[in-house]
Copies of this chain bind each other. A is one copy, B any other.
C-alpha cells in the first residue's frame, strides 16, 4: 500500500457499501439528511445484499492496484446478483455518470441511482448489459471464469480479474473452467486472476467449497494449476491489509510469469498462476441479527436482510443504524459528492473498471479480413455431379483468415476436440491447438500460442468464445449438432445479453457468436441415436428475432457464402448447420451468392415447371441431406411422371419462412406465395424436427397444403440412407407424398407409387443382408 492509505481504502469500501444498501432500500432521503421514515423506503424490497460487501472490497482493492500500477484491467463479477455493489462502484468512480449523464455524481444522482435499482423501468438487480464495465450477466451462474479467460486470450496487456462465488463454484461449467490454466499462453494472452469468494452460503445452504478443510481446498486449487493466496477475516482493518498484500503478491507473480515467458530463452514449464481465496462473512457489516435470528454470516443475509422496514419500526430503526454505521457524512459532502478520501484509490479515465474499452469490446473490433471466396469455391459446371465435403472447403477459407490475423490475433476457432473430425484441419497448416500442458513426441498440432481451442467441454468452448466476442474479437464454434444442446442455457443468456445491448446506444456492436453445427443428425454412422438431435435450431428460434439467424447451406459454395456473411456480422447469434460428409455441389459460387442473399429460392434447373404458372407441386428442402433427397425425388418424378410440373425450392435462411412482422428476415406474404404458391401441395423436406416448419409458416395462406418431413426421433447406428428411410424423408417416400397430395394423381400414378414402395422394400432387404445402402442410392447422381 505505497500510495493509497488504508483509511482511504476503507472509506471507499464504506461508501460502496452504503450505496449498495441505499439501492436496495431507499426511495428518497439518500444522504440520511433527515431521520429515516417509512415513506423513504421502496414499496418492494428487492436485491441481494449478501455478496455485496465482498464485491465492494474487491473493487476497492482493484482500484488501488490499477491506480498504483497503471493496469489495464477488466473484472468479471461472477456473483452478479451483487448488482448493487458494482453499480455503487461505477457511480463512485464516475463511469456511471459518464454512461448515463442523468445519474449525476451528487445527491440528486444518488437518489436516482437508489430509486432506479430493481424499480420498474429502472435497472435490473443483477450485473447486466446496462452495467458499465460488465461483460457478464450475473443471472445464471457458472460462466464467469470461462468469460474471464475468453476476455484474456490475445489481450497480452490486460489483467482480467474474476470473482468466483462459492455458490457458482459448485456448477459444472465453473468446476471445469479452472482447467483453462492449461490453455492460456503467458506470452500472447493476458492474465486471469481468480478471486474465489468464500462467503459461505448460497440461498439457503452452506457452500461445498467453504466447508472444506483448508488443506483440502488448497489441494483442489493446486490441482487446478493455481497457487492460492488466502485472505480471511471479519475485521475490516486486518482484511484490508491482507487483501492489499495478497493483491500485490498476485500481481508481482503474474508480472514475473509474463516476463519470464515473454523474454523467451529457455523453454518454460506451465505457469502456476496465482489466485486469491477471499473468506469474508456473507452480508458483512449488515445486521448481525434480525428478529432474534442470526443474519450476518449466514444464508439469511442472501437477499434483503430486513424485510419489513416499512411496517416494522424496529426494522426501520435497524436499517437506519446500519446505514449510519458507514458514517455517510464522512463519505459524501453536503451535495452528495464523494469526498476526495473516498476517491483517493479510484483510477482515471479508461482505467476505471466501468469505463475500460475491453468491456465495451465493439469499440475495439476490427473488421475481419476475409479473402475472396473465389479462391476456395468449388467449380460447378453441372449441378449434382461432383462431391465435396463442405466443411473441408470452409476449413481452407478459415485457414486463410487465421493466416491473415496472425499478427492481429483477433480470430479463434473453438470446438470440443472436433476440428479435424469436422474436416476443418486446414487450420492446422496455419496455427496449432492451444496447449500449455505436457506434450509428447507423437502429438500433432499442439502449440502454446495456438488459436484453435479444443477441450472436451462445450461449456468452456462457449464461455471462452462469448468472452472473446464480447471483448471485440471474432470466432467460430464448431460443434457436433446434437451436443450443442449442452450450451442451450448459455446461448439463452448470450442472446438476452445481445438483445439488451442492442438497445443501449453506448454499447458498440460486437462480433456475432457463430456456430458451425456439423456431424449432424443424418450422418451418425459411428454413433447412432444418442448423437441425433437437430433441435438447437428450434431452441434458438424461440429467442429474440433481432438477434438470431439460422442458415442451412445445402452445399460447399453456399456454405462459403453463408460463412462470409456471418463472419462479417455483428451482434447476432448465427447458427450454421452444414455437413462434413461428401455432398453434391449444386450451385456455382455466383449462384450460391445470389441464392444465399435471397435466403430461399427456386432451383429452376431442378424442376419441371415452366415458371409461367403455378406448378402442380412444390418440393421444398432445407439442409444438405434433405436437399439431396428432394433432388433425387425430383429426378424420379421427371422420369416417372414427366407431365407433372414440379417446382424445387431450397431454403438456406430458415427465418425467411416467418412472417415479416415476426423476424427481420421474414418474407412478405406476396413473396412467400410466389415461391410456394397459395394452394398447391408443398412437400417440404427439412433437416430437423418437421413441426418447426409449421411453427414458422402457420400464418401463410398456403399453410394447409404444407406437408413437412423431417427427423422424428427414429434413429440408431445405421447407414445414411437407412436414416432417411426410417424418418420418411427418403426420395421414394417424397415421391409417394407427391402422388398422395397432388389432386387426382393417386389414380394415375398407382404404378409409380408401387415402384416407390418396392424400392423401400428393396432397401430393407438389402441393408439387412449387406449392411450398406442400395447401389442405386449409393451411386446416384443428378442427371437433370
Residues of A within 8 A of B (CB): 27, 42-44, 46-48, 118-126, 128, 137-142, 167-168, 170-179, 182, 202-208, 211-213, 216-225, 294, 297-298, 303, 417-421, 433, 435, 437-440, 442-444, 446, 454-460, 482-483, 485-486, 488-489, 492-493, 496, 499-500, 525-531, 533, 535, 538-539, 542-544, 689, 691-692, 694-695, 698, 703, 713, 716-719, 722, 767-768, 770-772
In whole angstroms, how far apart are the Cα atoms of A294 and B444 in the complex? 12
Known interface pairs A43-B770, A125-B527, A222-B223. Does A202 touch B417 (Cβ–Cβ under 8 Å)?
yes
8 contacts between A and B (CB under 8 A): A125-B527, A205-B454, A294-B442, A486-B489, A488-B539, A492-B533, A539-B539, A695-B698
Which B residue sits closest to A546, measured CB to CB? B713
Contact assessment for B175 and A526 in the assembled complex, using a CB-CB cutoff below 8 Å: no
Bound-state Cα–Cα, A446 to B299, Å: 13
CB atoms of A440 and B206 under 8 A apart: yes
Contact A542 B531 (CB under 8 A): no
Q: Which chain B residue shows the least CB distance to A543?
A: B713
Nearest-Cβ distance from residue A396 to partner chain B, whole angstroms:
19
Residues of B contacting A460 in the complex (Cβ-Cβ under 8 angstroms): 170, 172
The 8 closest A-B CB pairs, nearest first, are: A220-B223, A139-B530, A172-B172, A175-B176, A485-B489, A175-B175, A219-B223, A211-B437
Which residue of the partner chain, among B119, B211, B418, B528, contacts A771 with CB atoms under 8 Å?
Answer: B119
Q: How far is the CB of A12 from chain B (nearest CB, A)?
A: 27
The answer to whether A172 and B459 have CB atoms under 8 Å apart is yes
B483 touches A489 (CB 8 A): yes
Of A120, A493, A535, most buried by chain B (CB within 10 Å of CB) is A120
Query: Across the interface, which residues of B come within 8 angstroms of A225, CB to CB?
Result: 216
Complex Cα spacing A592 to B492, Å: 35
A208-B437, A223-B219, A489-B483 are contacts. A43–B120 as well, Cβ < 8 Å? no
A221 to B122, CA, bound (A): 46
Q: Given the complex of chains A and B, what is the CA–CA distance between A489 and B531 in angstroms?
A: 11
List chain B residues, Cβ under 8 A from A119.
771
Nearest CB to that of A123 among chain B residues?
Answer: B717
In whole angstroms, how far apart are the Cα atoms of A119 and B770 in the complex? 9
Contacts of A222 in B (CB 8 A): 216, 219-220, 223
Known contacts A216-B222, A420-B204, A527-B126; is A717 also within 8 Å of B176 by CB?
Answer: no
Minimum CB–CB distance for A107 against chain B, Å? 20
Instruction: Write the chain B residue with the least CB distance to A143.
Output: B172
CA distance in complex: A282, B323 (Å): 63
Shortest Cβ gap from A202 to chain B (Å): 4
Q: Which residues of B contact A535 (CB under 8 A)?
A: 492, 539, 542
B722 in contact with A120 (CB, 8 Å): yes
**CA separation between A741 and B499, bound complex, in Å?**
31
Residues of B within 8 A of A443 (CB): 206
- Tell me the bound Cα distance from A444 to B203 in angstroms: 12
* Given known contacts A489-B483, A694-B694, A526 and B118 CB-to-CB distance under 8 angstroms: yes
- A419–B299 Cα gap in the complex (Å)? 14
Instruction: Determine the distance from Cα of A53 to Cα of B730 in the docked complex, in whole angstroms.
Output: 39
Are A771 and B223 CB-contacts (below 8 A) given A124-B717, A457-B171, A488-B489? no
* Nearest neighbor of A438 in chain B, beta-carbon distance: B211
Q: Which residues of B contact A499 (CB under 8 A)?
A: 713
The distance in angstroms between the C-alpha atoms of A179 and B492, with both chains bound, is: 27
List of B residues within 8 angstroms of A444 by Cβ: 204
Query: Which residues of B are found within 8 Å of A488, using beta-carbon distances?
Result: 485-486, 488-489, 539
The smallest beta-carbon distance between A111 and chain B, in angstroms, is: 14
Task: Report the minimum CB–CB distance from A676 to chain B (whole Å).
Answer: 16
Roughly how many angstroms separate A178 CA and B178 CA in the complex, as a whole number? Answer: 14
Residue of B nearest to A485 (CB): B489
State the CA gap A323–B716 with chains docked (Å): 28
**Contact: B433 with A205, CB < 8 Å?**
yes
Q: When the two chains form their complex, are residues A698 and B694 in contact, meaning their CB atoms are under 8 A apart?
A: yes
Closest-by-CB residue of B relative to A497 is B530
For A123, list chain B residues within 8 Å (CB).
Answer: 717
Of the candidates B44, B527, B771, the one whose C-beta lies within 8 Å of that of A139 is B527
A488, B533: Cα distance in complex, Å: 11
A419 contact set on B, CB distance < 8 A: 204
Known pairs A140-B486, A206-B443. 19 more at Cβ < 8 A? A46-B526, A121-B718, A123-B717, A139-B527, A167-B417, A170-B179, A172-B459, A205-B435, A206-B438, A211-B437, A212-B437, A219-B220, A219-B222, A482-B492, A485-B489, A485-B492, A538-B542, A691-B695, A698-B703
| B residues less than 8 Å from A212 (CB atoms) | 223, 437-438
Q: Name the B residues within 8 Å of A202 (CB-CB).
A: 417, 456
Which chain B residue has the least Cβ–Cβ distance from A212?
B437
